[in-house]
Amino acid sequence: MASCCIVPNDLQDFANEHKIKILTHNDPGVLIDGDKLKNIKPENCIEEVATLLNEGQGQLDVDWVVRYQVMDGSRGVLKDKRYIIALKS
């Protein structure tokens, strides 16, 4: 995974030839850990997660995370970065 954002030369050449813009990222290996999870406010969660947080039922752990971006396609402007986090107890 450490080299996932290195664009191979042949792909760079293809993109340049066809006027394609390649966007890469370098998210950290762990987007959210247990300490950050403890600081999540229940009012920012869906009802099921808020209930677990309010009642202190067990330890919640991150199962997976998806990062996505909201773009203004007509101008190519990044409007927002968002995350979907699946938790497990």
pLDDT band at 57 (very low <50, low <70, confident <90, very high): low
Percentage of residues in the chain having pLDDT higher than 90: 6
Q: Residue-wise over 58-76: b if at least 16 C-beta within 10 A, else e?
A: eebebeeeeeeeeeeeeee
Q: What's the average model confidence in pLDDT over 28-47?
A: 75
pLDDT for res 17: 94
Q: What is the mean pLDDT of the chain?
A: 77
Model pTM?
Answer: 0.51
Q: How many helices (H) does the chain have, and how many strands (E)?
A: 3, 2
* Phi, psi dihedrals of residue 11, rounded to the nearest 5°: -70, -40
pLDDT band at 13 (very low <50, low <70, confident <90, very high): very high
